């Protein structure tokens, strides 16, 4: 299987406006850039996109893990996706080739390490190596979902700290900088010996729920580890906070113990970073309803949704689950009305612009 990414030569706005049925029309007048909703973009935005479009030392490439997100980011920034060829040999080995010059360029590689995790991780490492050997000026790995993030400490005897290993692999392969989204544990940033920008999807989620204006809202953390994340979210929503005390009995298995905080007669919003098997999520929903919550909503950044997660969500009494597109939604989840996907392409696009222009990224953390 061969996958070719990118769209080839980049035209100026004036040239693009003159294209008619694939040919150049010298009589056509240039048209202003437009947004996705059809409205003309502001002059400032159009000038910004033109600046990046004309910058030959600014390039974005994508692996196969989430090409749709990479294309959204490129559309937001105003550049074309880099030309490359990705191929797998009959034995499963990855072959990657750059189809354009990157010498001295500031390159961003977008690749979440989602399922199949190992395949996408190795693919990313090979892409980094190819860029390094092609003399890219700087390589920034944009990892919307950081696989192995939950293996961040020795919680049992004789186990690996896999998230540290992944950080070492990315650095050794040749990454100069990392751009990550909603790490399971913020201290994973310390596993890297290169600069790390840790973004949060909360601005996207907060904006969505502010528009919904849920009555008598209480934000709920499904475990003690997510309290800081939930507290920040609750502050932005001007809502009280509740915590669910749970005990994990085995891998991917947890038992909800009790709810800390008042949810009786209130609308509960569960906030988590990852929804994996959805076992913890549905048990949390049941516990909140048993404590008197009138309605329960849920949101998370990373929709891993492995195993029977889709069936559990479909059969759960929760009102709905909102996730972001850091990971492509499973096919059997796309037809489920309970699941809504929000895009973080704008968030990533602004971060990439800031890194390239050497301006502050800190405003995106808030």
CA distances from residue 80 to 55, 56, 62, 70, 290 in whole angstroms, order as listed: 11, 11, 11, 10, 51
Tokens for 254?
């947890």
Peptide bond into 125 cis (omega under 30): no
Residue 13 and residue 50 in contact, taking contact as beta carbons nearer than 8 Å: yes
d(CA 71, CA 18): 23
> Of residues 18, 59, 246, 283, which has the active-site annotation?
246
Beta strands (DSSP E) in the chain are: 2-5, 19-20, 23-24, 58-62, 84-88, 94-98, 106-110, 138-143, 177-181, 196-199, 217-221, 241-250, 253-260, 267-275, 295-303, 320-324, 339-342
Tokens for 274?
């990852």
The residues, ordered by sequence, that sit 6+ positions from 77 with a Cβ below 8 Å of its Cβ are 49, 52, 60, 349, 352, 353
Tokens for 293?
């919550």
283 is catalytic: no
CA distances from residue 331 to 110, 160, 279, 340, 343 in whole angstroms, order as listed: 21, 32, 20, 13, 17
Taking CB atoms within 8 Å and a gap of at least 24, the contacts of 47-51 are 48/78, 48/353, 49/77, 49/78, 50/12, 50/13, 50/78
C-alpha closest to that of 243 among 262, 260, 268: 260
d(CA 225, CA 6): 40
Residue 199 and residue 347 in contact, taking contact as beta carbons nearer than 8 Å: yes
Q: State the DSSP code for 187.
A: G
CB atoms within 10 A of CB 104: 12
Give the residue numbers marked as catalytic.
Answer: 246
């Amino acid at each position: 299987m061969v996958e070719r990414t990118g769209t080839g030569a980049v035209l100026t706005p004036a040239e693009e406006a003159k294209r008619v049925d694939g040919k150049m029309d010298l009589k056509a007048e240039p048209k202003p850039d437009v947004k996705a909703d059809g409205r003309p973009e502001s002059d400032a935005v159009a000038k910004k996109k033109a600046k990046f479009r004309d910058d030959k030392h600014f390039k974005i490439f994508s692996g196969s893990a989430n090409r749709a997100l990479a294309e959204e980011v490129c559309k937001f920034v105003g550049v074309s996706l880099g030309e490359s060829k990705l191929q797998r040999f009959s034995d499963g080995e990855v072959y990657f080739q750059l189809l354009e010059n990157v010498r001295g360029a500031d390159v961003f590689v977008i690749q979440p390490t989602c399922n199949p995790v190992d395949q996408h991780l190795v693919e990313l490492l090979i892409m980094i190596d190819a860029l390094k050997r092609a003399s890219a000026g700087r390589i920034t790995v944009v990892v919307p979902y950081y696989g192995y993030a939950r293996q961040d400490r020795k919680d049992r005897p004789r186990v690996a700290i896999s998230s540290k290993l992944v950080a070492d692999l990315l650095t050794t392969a040749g990454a100069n900088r990392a751009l990550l989204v909603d790490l399971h544990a913020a201290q994973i940033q310390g596993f890297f010996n290169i600069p790390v920008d840790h973004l949060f999807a909360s601005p996207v989620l907060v904006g969505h729920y502010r528009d919904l204006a849920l009555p008598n809202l209480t934000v709920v953390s499904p475990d003690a580890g997510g309290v800081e994340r939930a507290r920040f979210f609750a502050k932005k929503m001007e809502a009280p906070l509740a915590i669910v005390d749970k005990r994990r009995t085995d891998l991917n298995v947890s038992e909800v113990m009790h709810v800390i905080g008042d949810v009786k007669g209130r609308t509960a919003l569960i906030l988590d970073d990852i929804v994996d098997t959805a076992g913890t999520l549905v048990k949390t929903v049941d516990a909140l309803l048993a404590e008197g919550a009138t309605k329960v909503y849920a949101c998370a950044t990373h929709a891993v949704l492995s195993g029977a997660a889709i069936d559990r969500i479909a059969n759960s009494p929760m009102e709905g689950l909102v996730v972001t597109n850091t990971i492509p939604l499973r096919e059997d989840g796309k037809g489920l009305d309970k699941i809504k996907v929000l895009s973080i392409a704008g968030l990533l696009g602004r971060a990439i612009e800031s890194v390239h222009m050497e301006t502050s990224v800190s405003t995106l953390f808030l």
